[in-house]
Structure 1
Amino acid sequence: MKPAVLLSVLAIYLGITVFLALLAYRRTKSANDYMIAGGETHPFLMAMAYGSTFISTSAIVGFGGSAGMFGMSLLWLTFCNIFVGIFIAFVVYGKRTLAVGKELGARTFPELLSLKYNSTFIRKFSALVIIGGMPLYAAAVMIGAGRVIEQLLKIDYTVAIITFAVIVAAYVMFGGLKGVFYNDAFQGSIMFIGMIVLLVVTYSKLGGVTTAHQALSDLTALVPEGLAAQGHVGWTSMPTMGSEFWWVVVSTLVMGVGIGVLAQPQLVVRFLTVKGPKQLNQAVLIGGVFILFMTGVAFVVGSLTNVYFHQTLGKISIAAVVDAVTNRPNIDNIIPLYVGMAMPAWFAYLFMFTLIAAAMSTLSSQFHAIGTSLCHDLYNQSSINSNRMAILVALAGSVVLSLKLPGSIIAVATAIFFGVCAATFLPAYTAALFWPRATKTGAIASMVVGLSSSIMLMAFVHAKEATALGLSNLMFGKPTLVGFPWVVVDPIVISLPLSAITLVAVSLVTSQARESILVPKATAHK
Structure 2
Amino acid sequence: MNVPLLATIVALYTAVVVFLGWLGYRNTKSAADFLVGGRQIHPVLMALAYGSTFISTSAIVGFGGVAALFGMGLLWLTALNILIGIFVAFVVFGRPTRRLGAALDAHTFPELLGRRFGSRFIQGFAGGTIALLMPLYAAAVLIGGARFLEVQLQLRYDLALLVFAAITMAYVLFGGLKGVVYTDAFQGSLMFVGMIVLLVTTYALTGGAGAHDALTDLAGQVPPALQKGGHRGWTAMPALGSPIWWQLVSTIVLGVGVGVLAQPQLTLRFMTVKSGKELNRALVPGGVFILFMTGVAFLVGALTNVYFWNRDGKIALAMVVDPATGKPNVDKLIPTFTQAAMPEWFGYLFMLTLLAAAMSTLSAQFHVIGTAIGRDLYQEVVARGAHQERTVPIAKVGIFAGFLVTLVLAFQLGAGIVAIATSLFFGMCAAAFLPLFVAALFWKRATKAGALAGMIAGTVAWAGWVLLVHEKESAALGLARLLSGKPSLGAGTVWAVVDPIVVALPISALVTIAVSLATKPMTLASAPPAHARRDAA
Same fold (TM over 0.5): yes
Alpha-carbon distance, 1:512 to partner: 6.9
Aligned to 2:530: none
**SS at 2:327 equivalent:** coil
Contact 2:194–2:353 (8 Å) recurs in 1: yes
**SS at 1:379 equivalent:** helix
Alpha-carbon distance, 1:177 to partner: 0.3
Aligned to 1:522: none
Cα distance in 2, alignment partners of residues 93 and 305 from structure 1: 37
Gaps of 5+ in 1: 515-526
Gaps of 5+ in 2: 380-385, 524-537
Aligned to 2:336: 337
TM-score for both structures, normalised by structure 2: 0.94
Report whether the alignment pairs 1:152 with 2:152: yes
After superposition, the Cα gap between the structure-2 partners of 1:141 and 1:512, relative to the gap in structure 1 and judged at 3 Å, is closer
How big is each residue's C-alpha offset from its partner over 1:322-355, in whole Å with a ceiling of 9 and x where there is no partner? 1011111111111010001011111011101100
**SS at 2:497 equivalent:** coil
Contact 2:471–2:487 (8 Å) recurs in 1: yes
Picking from 446, 450, 457, the partner of 2:458 is 450
Aligned to 2:526: none
Picking from 499, 502, 508, the partner of 2:517 is 508
Aligned to 1:496: 505
**SS at 1:239 equivalent:** coil
Q: Moved runs in structure 1, 4+ residues, more than 6 A? A: none
**SS at 2:394 equivalent:** helix
Alpha-carbon distance, 1:513 to partner: 11
Report whether the alignment pairs 1:67 with 2:76: no
Cα distance in 1, alignment partners of residues 369 and 51 from structure 2: 19
1:100-111 residue pairs with structure 2 within 5 A?
Answer: 100-111=100-111
Cα distance in 1, alignment partners of residues 522 and 350 from structure 2: 59
TM-score for both structures, normalised by structure 1: 0.96
After superposition, the Cα gap between the structure-2 partners of 1:160 and 1:513, relative to the gap in structure 1 and judged at 3 Å, is closer
**SS at 2:207 equivalent:** coil
Alpha-carbon distance, 1:386 to partner: 2.4
Percent identity among equivalent residues?
A: 56
Cα distance in 1, alignment partners of residues 207 and 318 from structure 2: 23
Q: Which amino acid aligns with 2:113?
A: L
Aligned to 1:391: 399
Cα distance in 2, alignment partners of residues 511 and 504 from structure 1: 13
**SS at 1:274 equivalent:** coil
Aligned to 2:313: 314
Contact 2:80–2:257 (8 Å) recurs in 1: yes
Report whether the alignment pairs 1:468 with 2:495: no
Cα distance in 2, alignment partners of residues 511 and 313 from structure 1: 68
Report whether the alignment pairs 1:417 with 2:425: yes
Cα distance in 2, alignment partners of residues 512 and 144 from structure 1: 47
Report whether the alignment pairs 1:379 with 2:378: yes
Q: Which amino acid aligns with 1:263?
A: A
Cα distance in 2, alignment partners of residues 245 and 386 from structure 1: 44
Report whether the alignment pairs 1:36 with 2:45: no
Contact 2:378–2:394 (8 Å) recurs in 1: no
Report whether the alignment pairs 1:261 with 2:260: yes
Report whether the alignment pairs 1:84 with 2:92: no
Alpha-carbon distance, 1:458 to partner: 0.7
Aligned to 2:49: 49
After superposition, the Cα gap between the structure-2 partners of 1:281 and 1:512, relative to the gap in structure 1 and judged at 3 Å, is closer
Aligned to 2:212: 213
Aligned to 2:118: 118
**SS at 1:105 equivalent:** coil
How big is each residue's C-alpha offset from its partner over 1:96-119, in whole Å with a ceiling of 9 and x where there is no partner? 101111111100001000000000
Cα distance in 1, alignment partners of residues 8 and 291 from structure 2: 32
Name the Cα RMSD after superposition.
1.1
Cα distance in 1, alignment partners of residues 462 and 184 from structure 2: 32
Cα distance in 1, alignment partners of residues 102 and 251 from structure 2: 34
Cα distance in 2, alignment partners of residues 253 and 302 from structure 1: 15
Aligned to 2:496: 487
Cα distance in 1, alignment partners of residues 109 and 521 from structure 2: 28
Cα distance in 2, alignment partners of residues 99 and 174 from structure 1: 28
Report whether the alignment pairs 1:243 with 2:251: no
Cα distance in 2, alignment partners of residues 203 and 138 from structure 1: 32
Q: Which amino acid aligns with 1:509?
A: A
